[in-house]
Amino acid sequence: GVGGAVALLVLLLVGWVATRPGVGYVMLDLQRVPPEVRGRMQVTLDTQPIAVESGGTTLLREVTAGQVMVTVSAEGYKTFTRTLQVNSGKGVEPVEVALESLVRTASLVLVTQPSDAQVKVDGKVIRAQGASDAFIKGVPISGQEWVVEISAPQHKPASKRVPLTGDGPFEVSLKLEPVVSKVSVKIDSKPAGAVIFAGGQELGETPATVLVSPNVRQLTLKLKCHNDAEVDVPAPEAGESIATATVSLKRQPRCR
């Protein structure tokens, strides 16, 4: 009768509770995943997508006890897959997630003059102007060689091809040549008309504005019946682009 039906229903409920799968916990440790990748990676637990916060380094989820497949993927990285045996209860099954980059990289050891020059590899800046890091890790490899370009203000840029044989690190040593800009010097003499020489080269007669190389330190003035005069090349005054020098020439006695 009714009592038998109730007893049967109770037995069915007890059986269902007894056979219902338990739950357990999986904790993903994301510390070995680059921070910039965490926000864009896809995580699934037994094909069930899981939301990931970009700033988090751990992810705890309740799952059905038994075998659980963890899959973590991100563009540019090999897909991480791990199958776990999760027991029911409050115990947590930890999983350390490590994503391996599909892009081959190597380290670069830099010796540059100036030491804070900007460095590009294959057109991409890997060290900004003003930085002087000598060891750069994780430089992408896209072929058989790197084209390393170095530049700095007031210097001629330079580049070098670096063959990529072996795993590195690879060393690059480059010295930049300063840009040679000539210095303007306005020379006057008393009396005027003296011939201006720089390193034996005639530049004109006073008064004149002449262009000299930065490595020229002295000018010589020659005028008939006067002693030669050596003139130190002066530096321009603050805010001026032209240096000026005025020289009085000493007359030689009894010279006509």
Per residue in 13-49, pLDDT (tens digit) is 544 444 456 889 999 999 888 888 888 889 999 888 9
CATH C-level class of 183-248: mainly beta
Per residue in 160-205, pLDDT (tens digit) is 999 988 877 899 999 998 876 777 888 999 999 999 998 888 999 9
- Quick one: tokens of 218? 């002295």
Q: What percent of the chain has pLDDT over 90?
A: 43
CB 151 within 8 A of CB 174: no
Q: How far apart are the C-alpha atoms of 173 and 155, rounded to whole Å?
A: 16
Within this chain, domains 21-96 and 105-175 share the same CATH topology: yes
Position 143 pLDDT exceeds 50: yes
Topology given in CATH for the domain delimited by 105-175: Immunoglobulin-like (2.60.40)
CB 25 within 8 A of CB 93: yes
Q: Which long-range contacts (CB under 8 A, 24 or more apart) does 249-252 make?
A: 249/189, 249/190, 249/191, 249/194, 249/221, 249/223, 250/226, 251/225, 251/226, 252/225, 252/226, 252/227
Topology given in CATH for the domain delimited by 21-96: Immunoglobulin-like (2.60.40)
Mean pLDDT (the chain) is 85
Domain chopping of the chain, boundaries:
21-96, 105-175, 183-248
The pTM for the full model equals: 0.44
